[in-house]
Chain A
Amino acid sequence: DQQVKQNSPSLSVQEGRISILNCDYTNSMFDYFLWYKKYPAEGPTFLISISSIKDKNEDGRFTVFLNKSAKHLSLHIVPSQPGDSAVYFCAAQNSGGSNYKLTFGKGTLLTVNP
């Protein structure tokens, strides 16, 4: 039973346009959400996060939006650059006893075309 779902295995966008990566979750105990970026043959690297007390967090070209009622979050990349091409993982943590665990989605492969 997947608690974090990234329903789009892949996404292709043109350089300079907006990339929107989506993530849905089912566990209402999740209170912290993170996005990781992964290049081939490398480990995931932290990109941006958001606490459940907020609905938006922005860092440069990257913005994460959280809709708690819909249990949905999205990562916006504006403008997209070819170097952004990677697999993006959505992850979540809960406020319960095992609050150190990260629960990951399956990832979305983003390709930014020059």
Chain B
Amino acid sequence: GAGVSQSPSNKVTEKGKDVELRCDPISGHTALYWYRQSLGQGLEFLIYFQGNSAPDKSGLPSDRFSAERTGGSVSTLTIQRTQQEDSAVYLCASSPNTRGREAFFGQGTRLTVV
């Protein structure tokens, strides 16, 4: 497909378990973002990857959260020892430019921690 693809679409996990969320950006896009949207909130920045530069991890809420981007393409967001407050929609976006203007978003992964 031509768009940003995220998997799974929905994930229900038990508190304390680890989860991995996957993002396939648009081919050729150098910038990749992870955002999350908690209930009733706006989109919250988590992490930014740009080419081979060190990622900006300043938005990750705790050390239970980590992300990788392999080969400048696919990215995985990992949440360890999930908590109920981690429940949210996790959105990935990619952009062809460094300023992320008009970034293209995936459909998101809805994570529910029970």
* A interface residues (Cβ-Cβ under 8 A, vs B): 2, 4, 6, 32, 34, 36, 41-46, 49, 89, 91, 93, 98-107
Contacts and interface: CB of A to CB of B under 8 A. Distances in A.
Contacts of A101: 45, 48, 56, 59, 100
Interface in B44-59: 44-45, 48, 50, 56, 58-59
Contacts of A46: 102-104
A102 B35 CA distance: 10
B43 interface: yes
Contacts of A93: 99-101
Interface in B34-89: 35, 40-45, 48, 50, 56, 58-59
A2 to B, nearest CB: 8
A44 B105 contact: yes
Interface residues of B, number: 28
Given A99-B99, A100-B50, A100-B99, A43 B105 contact: yes
Contacts of B58: 98
Contact of B91 (A34, A44, A103): A44
B27 interface: no
Among A43, A104, A107, the one with the most B-chain Cβ atoms within 10 Å of its Cβ is A43
Contacts of B44: 104
Contacts of B104: 45-46
B25 interface: no
B108 to A, nearest CB: 6
Contacts of A91: 43
A36 to B, nearest CB: 8
A34 B56 contact: no
Given A104-B43, A107-B42, A45 B101 contact: no
B101 A43 contact: no
Contacts of B50: 100
Nearest to A97: B56
8 contacts: A42-B108, A49-B102, A93-B101, A100-B99, A101-B45, A101-B100, A102-B103, A105-B42
A21 B59 CA distance: 28
B102 A43 contact: no
